[in-house]
Amino acid sequence: MCTSVGAIVQNDIVLTDDGSKANALNDHFASVYTVDDGITPVCKKMEVTTTLDAITVEVSEVMSSIDRLKNNCSSGPDVFRQLCTDA
């Protein structure tokens, strides 16, 4: 198991000390995410016209999907979407 972050290159400069690496990572993540402005977006109300009455899931289907999970991938929705489309 890796216990430290290796060198990081930022603006063609190799960063090796923990403080500089932490600041570089903070700069990166701050640049790709937005600050929460506290405003909740207004979503239009949608009328539900159909319902799902029943669903059947077999143990073998669940086990097959679990077996196809890759332990080196994120467990976010993209992985599950890919599993659904690969089936």
pLDDT at 56: 93
pLDDT at 35: 80
What pLDDT shows up at residue 59? 93
Q: What is the pLDDT of residue 13?
A: 92
Distances in Å between the Cα of 62 and the Cα atoms of 10, 31, 35, 57, 80 are 43, 38, 38, 7, 12
pTM of the complete model: 0.40
pLDDT tens per residue, range 46-67 = 898 998 889 999 999 999 988 8
pLDDT at position 70, please?
A: 74
User: Domains of the chain: which residue ranges?
Assistant: 1-33
Instruction: State the Cα–Cα distance between residues 6 and 27, nearest whole angstrom.
Output: 17
- pLDDT at res. 85: 59
